[in-house]
Every structure is written in structure tokens, then in C-alpha cells.
């Protein structure tokens, strides 16, 4: 750096600010029983002080940000199979400092987050998928601060079906304990006030189901932060009707060789139920999770990785794939009528006719 001789004596150097520590896992509304805790910010996202010249080698440059149960697992899986793509673990949720998860959710610090991409090995693109980034009010800005040149992929689905599928996912993983979808929707206001939160819940905010499908507002936020040219929206309808074409469009968006198309697109992350609820309760135990995360700083990385593999293995053993029952017709009609204004706003924003999402006949 070139400097000139100062006319006056230089001022004392400013002390280098100490970067804030990454937010520690915080407790959810079930533990605090205060309505404001459902949406309480957990602190600003820790700065990632990495060398810009090496950013493409050690960190992600595209993000699948949601929405939940809209095909994000499938798209992440298909992209991971591309020879020029490295995909980090799904649902890390490093960004989104307003997202509040309970102690059983492992939220990485910056060193652990960047370490997930150590195996990139000069792959052309590296990405990660975390479905709650879309509904987060902070994730877009935090990702943009991390890498202004990031590309964003958003997948969306007809709102009533998206919420119904998410309800069954929550029933599977313990975030939901109400036996019917209609009953879960009726409990939203109680849960907004901090009551009726399941003991095993890991993300109480997700139980305010209708907040999840404010798609037009969420997509607009990413358009505003990144510009439309850096955001690609995939509709679940298109992904299902012509998976190869939807995947090819994503590859084109990322600047990747679109000739690398899988011969067979398998169903990813189908509807699941647990075989043994008692085992799920043990795996979800907040006390057990809190204890393991509490000693994590003193555990060798290999041991902690082994514990995580064991956890995943037990979940797989305790999982059974079943066909989800269809959404009750009258409830579908009620939800479609309620969501019609949101669907219309989203259609205008995307320049797509989504009126079939609101049909009740």
C-alpha cells in the first residue's frame, strides 16, 4: 500500500475490534414461555473474515434458501451429483440470526461452517441448502454481506399442499404433536403466545404455519438484496412435471454444463413416519443434545463427527416411508380461499399465472 507523509503527527492507531462470538444455541418458546421469544433475534451473524481471493475455494457461492417441503432436498441431491458442484450438508442454517432453534439443533460456529466446505477440491461451484433462510428477515442480507456475488435458488409450491406436507414432516421429527393438520392450524394463536409448544420441538416458529407461506414478501426480499438476475425461482409444479428441464434451467443459472443430466431422477425426501416414538424422543431429548453440544468444544472433531453419524444412522433405522393421506377437500378449499390474495401477489411478482393454486372446484 502506498502512503504519503502526514502533515500532522499521526493519531494513535485505533484498536482492532474483536469480532463478536457466534450466537450460541438458544432456547425456544417452549422453554421460555414468552410470546416474544418465538421471534426473538439470536444476535447478529458472526462476520466471516476470509480472504476474498480464496473465497471460491473454501466457501459456498450459491444457496438454496427454501421454501420447506417444496423440492429443496431433491434439488440439492441432484446438484450434488453434478461433477462440477460441491454441496455442503443440508439445513446448516448458519445465516439467519433471527431464526431461533432449540438446543437439540446443532448450529455451527464460523470455523465449523467453513470446514464443511473443505472438501470442495476446486469444484466450479459450491452450495448449501437451508430451507428457513427464505422466511428469515436477516438471512438474505447476511448472505449478501458474506458474498455479494452469491446466487440464490428458491423453490415454491402451492401453499396449502406445502403446509400440509410440512405438518407431516414436523409430526415425523417431533416438532409437532397435534394429531390433525386442522388442529395444528387452530393452535397457531396459542403457539404465537408461547403455549402448546411440544416438548421435542426444535423450531417453534415453524408452528405458526401460515407465516411460512408469505412467499411474495420473502421472494421480494431476495430480489431487493441480490437483484433478480442473481435469484432463480423454481415452481414445484415444474419440477414434478419435467424434472430434467427444471434441473437444466438451474444448471444454466449457475453457469454449469447442462449436458450432465442424471438418467433417472429419484424421489427424494418422501413422506416419513417414525417406527418407534420412544427412540425419537430419546434422539430429540433437549437435555441430551444440550449436554453433547456443551462438551463439543473439548471433543476431538473425529469423535463429534462419529456421534453425528450415529445420530443419523439411528434416525434412518427409525424411519419408514409411507404415502401421505390426501388433504381433506373442504380444508383444502378453505385454505385456498384464504391464500388466494397471497397467490395473486406472488404470480404478479414472478410473472406467472398461478390461478390454479387458488381453484376450489
- Residue 104 is predicted with a pLDDT of 63
Cα separation, 360 vs 165, in Å, equals 19
DSSP, collapsed to helix, strand or coil, labels residue 63 as strand
Which one is predicted more confidently, 169 or 319?
169
- Residue 311 is predicted with a pLDDT of 76
* Model pLDDT for residues 247-285, shown as the tens digit of each residue: 999 999 999 998 877 767 776 766 767 777 877 777 777
Q: What angle do CA 180, 275, 285 make, to 5 degrees?
A: 80
Q: What angle do CA 170, 202, 302 make, to 5 degrees?
A: 110
As beta bridge partners, residue 233 has: 154
Cα separation, 178 vs 326, in Å, equals 18
- Tell the burial category of 149 from Cβ atoms under 10 Å away from its Cβ (0-12, 13-18, 19+): exposed
- Residue 134 is predicted with a pLDDT of 98
- Residue 324 is predicted with a pLDDT of 82
- Nearest CA to 211 out of 102, 134, 103 is that of 134
* Model pLDDT for residues 179-232, shown as the tens digit of each residue: 999 999 999 999 999 999 998 899 999 999 999 999 999 999 999 999 999 999
Cα separation, 242 vs 268, in Å, equals 15
- Nearest CA to 286 out of 105, 127, 158 is that of 105
- Residue 308 is predicted with a pLDDT of 73
Rg of the chain (C-alpha set): 22
State mean pLDDT over 95-102: 93
Lowest mean pLDDT segment, chosen from 49-63, 80-94, 127-141: 49-63
Cα separation, 124 vs 134, in Å, equals 25
**Secondary structure E strands in 27-123:** 62-64, 85-87
- Residue 32 is predicted with a pLDDT of 39
Q: Who's near 247: CB < 8 A, 6+ residues apart?
A: 75, 78, 261, 262, 265
The CB-side HSE value for 269 (13 A sphere, CA atoms) comes to 18
* Model pLDDT for residues 30-59, shown as the tens digit of each residue: 333 333 344 433 433 444 434 444 444 579
- Residue 313 is predicted with a pLDDT of 82
pLDDT > 70? residue 239: yes
Q: 189 in the Ramachandran plot: left (φ > 0), alpha (ψ -120 to 50) or beta?
A: alpha
Cα separation, 64 vs 189, in Å, equals 30
Do residues 200 and 317 touch, judged by C-beta distance below 8 A? no
Which one is predicted more confidently, 312 or 204?
204
pLDDT > 90? residue 84: yes
- Residue 315 is predicted with a pLDDT of 67
* Model pLDDT for residues 15-32, shown as the tens digit of each residue: 444 443 443 333 333 333
Do residues 110 and 21 touch, judged by C-beta distance below 8 A? no
- Residue 2 is predicted with a pLDDT of 38
As beta bridge partners, residue 272 has: 321
- Residue 57 is predicted with a pLDDT of 52
pLDDT > 60? residue 328: yes
Average pLDDT taken over every residue of the chain: 83
Name the percent of the chain lying above pLDDT 70: 81
Do residues 63 and 127 touch, judged by C-beta distance below 8 A? yes
pTM: 0.79
**Secondary structure E strands in 106-181:** 125-129, 151-156
The CB-side HSE value for 179 (13 A sphere, CA atoms) comes to 0
- Residue 247 is predicted with a pLDDT of 96
Amino acid at each position: 500500500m502506498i502512503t504519503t507523509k502526514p502533515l500532522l503527527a499521526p493519531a494513535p492507531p485505533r484498536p482492532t475490534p474483536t469480532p463478536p462470538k457466534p450466537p450460541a444455541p438458544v432456547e425456544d418458546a417452549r422453554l421460555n414461555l414468552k410470546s416474544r421469544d418465538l421471534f426473538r433475534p439470536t444476535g447478529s451473524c458472526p462476520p466471516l473474515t476470509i480472504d476474498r481471493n480464496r473465497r471460491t475455494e473454501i466457501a459456498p457461492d450459491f444457496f438454496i434458501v427454501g421454501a420447506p417441503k417444496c423440492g429443496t432436498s431433491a434439488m440439492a441431491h441432484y446438484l450434488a451429483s453434478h461433477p462440477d458442484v460441491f454441496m455442503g450438508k443440508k439445513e446448516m442454517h448458519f445465516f439467519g440470526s433471527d431464526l431461533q432453534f432449540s438446543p437439540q439443533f446443532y448450529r455451527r460456529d464460523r470455523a465449523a461452517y467453513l470446514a464443511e466446505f473443505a472438501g470442495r477440491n476446486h469444484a466450479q461451484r459450491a452450495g448449501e441448502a437451508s430451507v428457513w433462510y427464505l422466511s428469515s428477515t436477516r438471512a438474505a442480507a447476511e448472505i449478501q454481506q458474506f458474498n455479494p456475488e452469491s446466487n440464490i435458488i428458491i423453490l415454491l409450491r402451492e401453499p396449502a399442499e406445502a403446509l400440509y406436507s410440512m405438518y407431516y414432516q414436523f409430526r415425523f421429527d417431533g416438532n409437532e404433536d397435534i394429531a390433525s393438520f386442522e388442529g395444528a392450524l387452530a393452535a397457531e394463536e396459542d403457539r404465537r403466545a408461547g403455549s402448546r409448544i411440544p416438548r421435542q420441538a426444535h423450531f417453534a416458529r415453524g408452528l405458526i404455519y401460515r407465516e411460512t407461506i408469505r412467499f411474495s414478501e420473502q421472494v421480494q426480499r431476495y430480489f431487493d438484496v441480490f437483484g433478480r438476475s442473481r435469484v432463480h425461482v423454481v415452481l414445484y409444479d415444474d419440477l414434478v412435471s419435467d424434472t430434467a428441464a427444471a434441473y437444466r434451467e438451474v444448471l444454466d443459472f449457475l453457469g454449469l454444463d447442462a449436458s450432465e443430466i442424471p438418467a433417472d431422477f429419484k424421489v427424494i425426501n418422501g413422506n416419513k413416519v417414525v417406527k418407534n416414538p420412544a427412540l425419537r424422543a430419546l434422539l430429540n431429548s433437549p437435555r441430551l443434545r444440550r449436554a453433547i453440544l456443551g462438551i463439543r468444544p473439548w471433543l476431538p472433531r473425529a469423535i463429534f463427527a462419529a456421534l453425528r453419524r450415529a445420530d443419523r444412522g439411528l434416525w434412518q433405522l427409525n424411519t419408514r416411508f409411507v404415502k401421505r393421506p390426501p388433504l381433506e377437500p373442504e380444508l383444502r378449499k378453505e385454505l385456498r380461499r384464504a391464500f388466494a390474495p397471497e397467490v395473486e401477489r406472488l404470480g404478479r411478482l414472478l410473472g406467472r399465472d398461478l390461478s390454479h393454486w387458488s381453484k376450489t372446484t
